[in-house]
Amino acid sequence: MPLRYISRLNFYRSSEGISQLALSKTLGISRQTLSALEFGKTHPTLLVAHKIASSFAVPIEDIFTFKDLKA
């Protein structure tokens, strides 16, 4: 079953008015990695996904999800 990766990280970060640089420093990752996560160019590790979700006080699934392409 083909899946499409969906990242709402940009939405959450922008809604809070946090820059990519500030969030990346908080998470301990590069700004380039954060950008790639926001635009679906790479998938987060479980640890990074947990840190991101915790920083916005939401479940991981609210930020990173997969959608069945056949649905």
Every domain of the chain and the residues it spans: 3-68
Global pTM value:
0.86
Per residue in 21-61, pLDDT tens? 999 999 999 999 999 999 989 999 999 999 999 999 999 99
- The contacts of residue 4 (CB under 8 Å, 6+ apart) are 66, 67, 69
- Overall fold of domain 3-68: 434 Repressor (Amino-terminal Domain) (1.10.260)
How many Å apart are CA 47 and CA 68, to the nearest integer? 24
